[in-house]
Each structure stands twice: as structure tokens, then as C-alpha cells.
Amino acid sequence: MYDTILVPVDGSENSQYAAKHALDLAEEVGATVHFLHVVSLNESRNIDVPRIEKGHLYQDLEKIGEEVIDDTLSPLGDQEVSFTRTIMTGRPDKQILSFIQSKHPDLVVMGSQGKTGLKRVVLGSVAENVARRSSVPIQLVPSSNDFVTLLDSERDEETDDE
């Protein structure tokens, strides 16, 4: 059913939930997991301007990406799953879609951010953009906070109606 599963990770708790879910699924079906981190230059931390001037930008970006993937995987423990790592730079949604087109995974597992209302409309969502444009199935994994947020917003609506 699934031979390859792509898991874009961004260092958030939500992407860690998605990574755990993908690893568990991969273990059950014998799939290989491809972890992808896209370093966005707009949001990059730890980039040292003097190192850029000396031509070390690529190594610094690679290091940032490796750290994000390591930080995502380290709390998950050892699993009997084959996996690869890929670091890309650019706009996350565009690079994830590019990876999908070039590598043809069977499934993409992503964490959802749980944004609603105006915040979602104004900021957009990487997961939503990928889900709308992907040529392969996407599985969005909510964090434990997404359910609580939904319940809280429903309670707020009930209170407003009273």
C-alpha cells in the first residue's frame, strides 16, 4: 500500500506528532520514511553574516536542517524503520510540492497547525497549500492542542449565543 512516506518537519510540536504517526505507520506497513526540512531564509536562526560572506551559507543551512530533523526524531526513540533526510531551502510549500513531484512518495504525513479564522486566512498554511496542490494523498495529523482549541471555540460560540 505505502512504500514511501514523506514527512515534512519544521521543528514544531505538531510536526513531531506527524513524525511519530508516520513512523508508526511505516513500521506497520514496511515503508521507508523521507524526512524533509525546508529552511526558509526569512525565518532562519543561527545564520552568521560573517560566515555568509566567507561562502559558508550552504553548510549553515544544512546544519540548521539537520538539527531540526534531529530534534524531531530524538524524543521518539529508536524505531525499526528505514528513513532518509533531505534539507532544502526556499518557501516550504513550494519545496515540499517540488519534492513530491520529483520523488513520488505514496503518502505525505504533515502536522496541522490548527489555525482558524482570520489568522488562517491572512497567514495561510503550508499544510493547506500542499494538500490543495499535491498529486499524492495527504494525511494531516492534529496535535493534542487542536482538539482542545476546537472545543474551546465551540464553547465560546455557545457563550456568545446566550
pLDDT at 56: 62
* Largest interatomic CA distance in the chain: 64
Domain count, the chain: 1
Cell of 56: 559558508
SS3 string of 6-75? EEECCCCHHHHHHHHHHHHHHHHHCCEEEEEEEECCCCCCCCCHHHHHCCCHHHHHHHHHHHHHHHHHHH
Residue type (1 letter), 157: E
Non-local (6+) Cβ contacts of 133 within 8 A are 93, 97
From first to last of its 162 residues, the chain has per-residue pLDDT tens of 899 999 999 988 888 999 999 999 999 999 999 999 998 766 555 555 555 545 666 677 788 889 999 998 888 777 789 999 999 988 899 999 999 999 999 999 999 875 555 555 544 588 889 999 999 999 999 876 644 444 455 555 555 555
**b/e string for 79-107 if b means 16 or more Cβ within 10 A?**
eebebebbbbbebbbebbbebbeeeebeb
pLDDT at 24: 93
**141: enclosing H helix or E strand:** strand 138-141
CATH number at residue 46: 3.40.50.620
pLDDT at 42: 63
Its domain, for residue 101, covers 4-161
pLDDT at 20: 92
pLDDT at 156: 55
